[in-house]
Chain A
Amino acid sequence: MSLVEEVDVIKRIPLFSKVDPARLKLLAFASERLTFDDGRFFFRSGDEGDSAYIILEGEAEILVGEEEAVVAKLGANELIGEIAMICNKPRTASVRAKGEVTALRIPKDVFMPMLTEFPGMALEITIELANRLERTTQQLVERTMEGTEQ
């Protein structure tokens, strides 16, 4: 997969969908493409949030708790770990490769300087995050309503 194809993948991720493709090209160029063997961890709960990952091929599992129960699965074109990276918080869950996984690692020290360099990009990402918050709030309201109706 070449740089151009990677840019296409990044573009399909909602958080980056509105960002200028020229910026995404730089983001892809400065990121690392990694191959995870089956069972290798992307990161573990409690680790420092030093990067986000985009799965290019394969499947990964999200694990929570001490017993590391699998709570969700992630597939191609999905973004992992961006919240811990942006908020400067430790990881709240672990992520492990299920089968071989190819992923793009976006290091925090690439992502953050890009936000400071390109206010337009920062704005698009803020809007996307706000939208996400709006949706979550909406869902929360709907659920509460459902609760009171019952």
Chain B
Amino acid sequence: MQDTLFQFVFRYSMRQQIVILTITVLSFPFLYFSLDLPKIIINEAIGGKDFPRTVLGLQFDQVPYLLALSFVFLALVFINGGFKYFLEIYKGKVGERMLRRLRFQLYDRILRFPLPHFRRIPQGELIPMITGEVESVGGFVGAAISVPAFYGGTLLVILFFMFMQDVVLGLAAISLYPIQAILIPILQKRLLHYNRRRVREIRRLANVIGESVRGVTDIHANDASRFFRTRISDRLGRIYSIRYKIYRRKFLIKFLNAFLGQLTPFFFFSIGGYLVIKGDLTLGALVAILAAYKDLASPWKELLNYYQQQAAIKVKYEQVVRCFDPARLLPEPPLATETPEEDAPLGDFKLANVTVVDDHEFKNLDDVSLDIAGGEHVAITGIETSGRFELGLLLGGLLPPTTGQLTLGGKALSRMPRERLGRRLGYVGNDPFLFAGTLKDNLYLGLKQEPVGPGEDSPEWAAYEKQYLAEAKLSGNPPLLLAADWVDLKRAGVTSQEELADRTIEVLGCVGMNSDLYEMGLRSTGDFDRDSETGARLLEARRAIRDRLTDPELGQLIEPFDPGAFNHSASVGENIMFGASVEGVLDAASLGQEAYMRRVLNHVDLLDSATEISIQVAELMVDLFSDIDPGNELFERFSFISADELPEIVELVQFIKDKGARRLKAAQKSQLLSLFFQLVPTRHRLGLINDQLIMKILEARKEFARDLPDSLKPSFEFFDPDKVNRWATLQDNILFGKVVYGQPKAKERVGEIIKEVIDSLNLRRTVMRFGLDYHVGPGGAMLSPAQRQKVMIARQVLKRPDTLILNDCLNSLDGAAQIEAIARIREECRERRVVACLSQKELAQLFPRVVTMDKGKIAEDAPVLGAVAE
């Protein structure tokens, strides 16, 4: 990357800068003329004699002459404005493209950092650099040449004009510039210093915040929140004092500038006035100079601003780039993969006298020589500092040897193109991390090396694509489309999406995730308009459940949805809506705020009694929870009111006691109403919902369905016994009812029934397919660490690598599950090479060959008797 900002600017926007410069220069004659014109108007048109005059062969009297000149002036205003407008827009475009390029380059650098570099650089500091800090750099790039050129030029033109009028006055106008030119850089220097410190402090702040989020359980477990609060406050304190210093300096500079600027007219009035009285200067010239001086202020201010800005931004750029410039960057990937040897196997691993030394001169691997043939299954074991983990990294091509050679089929691994390794090597590391998105997104990552198909194709889409690609190219971004089809079916050895899903399920079964996948599937929703076949099957399952409910024992476990009947196991809100919505749109806790719902209640004359019940519930909640610690889990599980909301409700309840419910404001009422909607009669056993109320609620259900606003329609669907619901989960669609409260182990028993029905209808695989669309949450947080590790292994198995390297990646599984997983992975990969770095010896014994590491050396390399040979 370019070391300085101006190198970066010239390297990537030379042509655009020249355009900016040319247009700027072109604008100057117009500017000069527009300055000169007032003088002509005053001296010649207003104060002149000898009319009519002949200009360009036309005759003018005094008034038409004045008007003509005035219109010329007006035209010049437009022309000057036009130049400025064009330049600003053009600059903006150049700047935004350069910002995009810079951000991309920085991100690209992160992907090319050698792995050990990540140990040195906190991720919390990288993020603000790319997101916040470079933003101003982008804005500046457009201005880098044009501002000094335009405003500097303008300034010179104006000064030239002044000198043309009178040398003495010209000198007066610039008399104070030297003072400013000396004083301001001195002040500026301190300011820069503080700016640099501010940037550093902000980065640290970002890092402390990031750390607190990642380590929040440890903070709570150690009751260290006071310490962390103080830590952040300490950072904020530093930032405050730096910012305050910056503010003071900045203001001082501003003040000096303004003050000196106002001194200059003093010279004009005294010297200029004297000259006019003496008759050495025309009044018109003095007026023009005063007008010009007014115009002088803005370019001068811009230039000073520019000077301040460029100094700060140069520093920022250099500071950022330095952080992104480690030694030994990985090479940039080519845009498209070249795959002449795609299917050639990698061949034998051969380590010859490999030594790996870390930053602290510690030998992680010490003169290791090792051969692993293609198709061999090997375990590498040893204690944590034995070098087993580093050996795994090395074999995965993620850690280069310091000395010695690592070859694959006779070729140095370091020389092998990254994409070939990505294709043929399946490396699984030990950090259970998934990317936010669906399970499928994560599993197919190994199949997404490059786009293999066009993806979506509609005419307007094509136009967008074309524009997007052109723009990406101009900013030096890769000309590839995210919406393209990236999943390469061939790599998984399948020919269609359906086959891929089936194969994925098979692989997940191999790592022991089938029942998890099934559960995830049951909790998923699906677009059954598109997938009507599955919809029909789910209805079949629904009918099967319904048939079983005639059995009295099962019948008491499920209360089915009935359009004409109240469901005692569902909340009041659910009973009224009688449908399912997109998560977070119409949930009971926010239903009171929904204006349409209030209208419905009002219409069926339920609003008053609903409010009354809400008040009773509010009183109960205040009674039960007001002296419970907000962090207590009981709060989240049982309170209708969140801990932050409770103080407000406490006040409301007190208000009602003092002044009566009639005095409540509408907003307060709707806040309370959500309590009514959350009530589940059989669960909460408060005896508040009587038969008369039930009748009203059923009326409200009809009313709610009658006139649902268009804004809600796309995210809501009513329950219909003969239709699957787009927004309800698979399980809810099959059950079409509620598990009742008050039956021992009801949830488990219902789960069993669902399972039986699904199996009898052969729906298990369909449900599991839905599980593939399950959202794993940020970092995979919705999954357990063991599940995450299983997904990571499955991802590699799915891409059918030549060699599977499992580097400590089973440690979140429990003992029995580890043994089972190893056996199944070995079976699945019986024709591939498997290298497993494992901490437990007993697990290593499951492999036919065990390499034991100790202090960076191979202590033992022996076959295991009795292990299953491949």
Residues of chain A whose beta carbon lies under 8 Å from any beta carbon of chain B = 1-3, 6, 22, 25-26, 29-30, 32-37, 40, 42, 105, 109-110, 113-114, 116-117
Answer yes or no: B623 CB below 8 A from chain A CBs. Answer: yes
Question: Counting chain A CB atoms within 10 Å of each CB, which of B628, B629, B634, B741 scores highest?
Answer: B634
Q: With CB as the reference atom, state the residue of chain A lying closest to B740.
A: A35
**Contact call A34/B742, Cβ cutoff below 8 A:** yes
**Contact call B623/A22, Cβ cutoff below 8 A:** yes
Q: Hey, which chain B residues are within 8 Å of A36, CB to CB?
A: 744
Minimum CB–CB distance for A133 against chain B, Å: 29
Q: Hey, which chain A residues are within 8 Å of B684, CB to CB?
A: 29
What would be 19 A-B contacts, judged by CB atoms less than 8 Å apart?
Answer: A1-B685, A2-B685, A2-B686, A2-B687, A3-B686, A3-B687, A6-B685, A25-B624, A29-B684, A30-B638, A33-B685, A33-B742, A35-B742, A36-B744, A37-B553, A113-B632, A116-B632, A117-B628, A117-B629
Q: Hey, which chain B residues are within 8 Å of A113, CB to CB?
A: 632-634
Answer yes or no: B662 CB below 8 A from chain A CBs. Answer: no
Q: With CB as the reference atom, state the residue of chain A lying closest to B633.
A: A113
**Contact call A42/B623, Cβ cutoff below 8 A:** no
Answer yes or no: B637 CB below 8 A from chain A CBs. Answer: yes
Q: Hey, which chain A residues are within 8 Å of B628, CB to CB?
A: 26, 117
Minimum CB–CB distance for A10 against chain B, Å: 14
**Contact call A26/B634, Cβ cutoff below 8 A:** yes
Question: Counting chain A CB atoms within 10 Å of each CB, which of B620, B625, B741, B742 scores highest?
Answer: B742
Answer yes or no: B743 CB below 8 A from chain A CBs. Answer: yes
**Contact call B744/A34, Cβ cutoff below 8 A:** yes
Minimum CB–CB distance for B223 against chain A, Å: 14
Distance A1 CA – B686 CA, assembled complex (angstroms): 9
State the total of A-B contacts with C-beta under 8 angstroms: 52
Distance A1 CA – B637 CA, assembled complex (angstroms): 23
Distance A6 CA – B742 CA, assembled complex (angstroms): 14
**Contact call A3/B638, Cβ cutoff below 8 A:** no
**Contact call A110/B634, Cβ cutoff below 8 A:** yes
Q: Hey, which chain A residues are within 8 Å of B634, CB to CB?
A: 26, 30, 110, 113-114, 117
* Extra contacts besides A1-B685, A30-B637, A117-B632 (13): CB < 8 Å: A2-B686, A3-B685, A3-B686, A22-B623, A25-B624, A26-B625, A29-B624, A30-B634, A33-B685, A35-B742, A113-B633, A113-B634, A114-B634
Q: Hey, which chain A residues are within 8 Å of B686, CB to CB?
A: 2-3
Q: With CB as the reference atom, state the residue of chain B lying closest to A116.
A: B632
Distance A113 CA – B624 CA, assembled complex (angstroms): 14
Q: Which of B574-621 contact A (CB under 8 A)?
A: 620
**Contact call B744/A40, Cβ cutoff below 8 A:** yes
Q: With CB as the reference atom, state the residue of chain A lying closest to B624.
A: A26
Minimum CB–CB distance for A50 against chain B, Å: 11
Minimum CB–CB distance for A38 against chain B, Å: 12
Q: With CB as the reference atom, state the residue of chain A lying closest to B687.
A: A2
Q: Hey, which chain A residues are within 8 Å of B638, CB to CB?
A: 26, 29-30, 110
Q: Hey, which chain A residues are within 8 Å of B743, CB to CB?
A: 34-35
Q: With CB as the reference atom, state the residue of chain B lying closest to A97.
A: B744
Total interface residues in chain B, CB < 8 Å: 20
Q: With CB as the reference atom, state the residue of chain A lying closest to B621.
A: A29
Q: Hey, which chain B residues are within 8 Å of A117, CB to CB?
A: 628-629, 632, 634
Q: Which of B724-767 contact A (CB under 8 A)?
A: 741-744
Q: With CB as the reference atom, state the residue of chain B lying closest to A114.
A: B634
**Contact call B623/A32, Cβ cutoff below 8 A:** no
Q: Hey, which chain A residues are within 8 Å of B624, CB to CB?
A: 22, 25-26, 29
Distance A37 CA – B629 CA, assembled complex (angstroms): 38
Contact with A along B673-692 (1 / 0, CB 8 A): 00000000000111100000
Minimum CB–CB distance for B763 against chain A, Å: 30
Q: Hey, which chain B residues are within 8 Å of A40, CB to CB?
A: 744
The 5 A-B residue pairs with the shortest CB-CB distance, nearest first, are A2-B687, A26-B624, A34-B744, A30-B638, A113-B634
Q: Hey, which chain B residues are within 8 Å of A22, CB to CB?
A: 623-624
Distance A116 CA – B623 CA, assembled complex (angstroms): 19
Minimum CB–CB distance for B199 against chain A, Å: 45
Minimum CB–CB distance for A23 against chain B, Å: 9
Distance A6 CA – B686 CA, assembled complex (angstroms): 11
Q: Hey, which chain B residues are within 8 Å of A42, CB to CB?
A: 744
**Contact call B637/A25, Cβ cutoff below 8 A:** no
Q: Hey, which chain A residues are within 8 Å of B685, CB to CB?
A: 1-3, 6, 33
Distance A3 CA – B634 CA, assembled complex (angstroms): 18
Minimum CB–CB distance for A41 against chain B, Å: 8
Minimum CB–CB distance for B284 against chain A, Å: 87
Q: Which of B623, B625, B633, B687 contacts A109 (CB under 8 A)?
A: B633
Minimum CB–CB distance for B650 against chain A, Å: 15
Q: Hey, which chain A residues are within 8 Å of B620, CB to CB?
A: 29
Minimum CB–CB distance for B742 against chain A, Å: 5
Question: Counting chain B CB atoms within 10 Å of each CB, which of A29, A33, A36, A40 scores highest?
Answer: A29
Distance A40 CA – B743 CA, assembled complex (angstroms): 11
Question: Counting chain A CB atoms within 10 Å of each CB, which of B624, B637, B684 scores highest?
Answer: B624
Distance A97 CA – B628 CA, assembled complex (angstroms): 35
Minimum CB–CB distance for A74 against chain B, Å: 16
Q: Hey, which chain B residues are within 8 Å of A29, CB to CB?
A: 620, 624, 638, 684
Distance A37 CA – B744 CA, assembled complex (angstroms): 9
Distance A1 CA – B742 CA, assembled complex (angstroms): 13
Distance A117 CA – B637 CA, assembled complex (angstroms): 15
Distance A116 CA – B633 CA, assembled complex (angstroms): 11
Q: Hey, which chain B residues are within 8 Å of A32, CB to CB?
A: 741-742
Q: With CB as the reference atom, state the residue of chain B lying closest to A37.
A: B553
Distance A52 CA – B684 CA, assembled complex (angstroms): 19
Q: Hey, which chain B residues are within 8 Å of A110, CB to CB?
A: 634, 638
Minimum CB–CB distance for B799 against chain A, Å: 41
Question: Counting chain A CB atoms within 10 Å of each CB, which of B628, B637, B685, B686 scores highest?
Answer: B685
Q: Hey, which chain A residues are within 8 Å of B741, CB to CB?
A: 32-33
Minimum CB–CB distance for A75 against chain B, Å: 19
Q: Hey, which chain A residues are within 8 Å of B553, CB to CB?
A: 37
Distance A22 CA – B625 CA, assembled complex (angstroms): 10
Distance A22 CA – B623 CA, assembled complex (angstroms): 8
Minimum CB–CB distance for A97 against chain B, Å: 9
Minimum CB–CB distance for A126 against chain B, Å: 20
Q: With CB as the reference atom, state the residue of chain B lying closest to A33.
A: B742
Distance A15 CA – B685 CA, assembled complex (angstroms): 24
Minimum CB–CB distance for A21 against chain B, Å: 11
Contact with A along B799-820 (1 / 0, CB 8 A): 0000000000000000000000
Distance A110 CA – B624 CA, assembled complex (angstroms): 14
Q: With CB as the reference atom, state the residue of chain A lying closest to B634.
A: A113
Minimum CB–CB distance for B665 against chain A, Å: 29
Q: With CB as the reference atom, state the residue of chain B lying closest to A28.
A: B685
Q: Hey, which chain B residues are within 8 Å of A33, CB to CB?
A: 685, 741-742
Minimum CB–CB distance for A64 against chain B, Å: 21
Minimum CB–CB distance for B836 against chain A, Å: 34
Q: With CB as the reference atom, state the residue of chain A lying closest to B625.
A: A26
Distance A150 CA – B76 CA, assembled complex (angstroms): 128
Q: Hey, which chain A residues are within 8 Å of B637, CB to CB?
A: 30
Distance A34 CA – B745 CA, assembled complex (angstroms): 9
Q: Hey, which chain B residues are within 8 Å of A34, CB to CB?
A: 742-744
Q: Hey, which chain B residues are within 8 Å of A37, CB to CB?
A: 553
Distance A113 CA – B623 CA, assembled complex (angstroms): 18
Minimum CB–CB distance for B445 against chain A, Å: 37
Distance A40 CA – B749 CA, assembled complex (angstroms): 13
Distance A29 CA – B622 CA, assembled complex (angstroms): 13
Distance A1 CA – B685 CA, assembled complex (angstroms): 8
Q: Hey, which chain A residues are within 8 Å of B632, CB to CB?
A: 113, 116-117
Minimum CB–CB distance for B738 against chain A, Å: 15
Distance A40 CA – B632 CA, assembled complex (angstroms): 34
Q: With CB as the reference atom, state the residue of chain A lying closest to B637.
A: A30
Q: With CB as the reference atom, state the residue of chain B lying closest to A35.
A: B742
**Contact call A25/B633, Cβ cutoff below 8 A:** no
Distance A34 CA – B741 CA, assembled complex (angstroms): 7
Q: Hey, which chain A residues are within 8 Å of B623, CB to CB?
A: 22, 25
Q: Hey, which chain B residues are within 8 Å of A109, CB to CB?
A: 633
Q: Which of B673-727 contact A (CB under 8 A)?
A: 684-687
Distance A32 CA – B633 CA, assembled complex (angstroms): 17
Q: Hey, which chain A residues are within 8 Å of B625, CB to CB?
A: 26
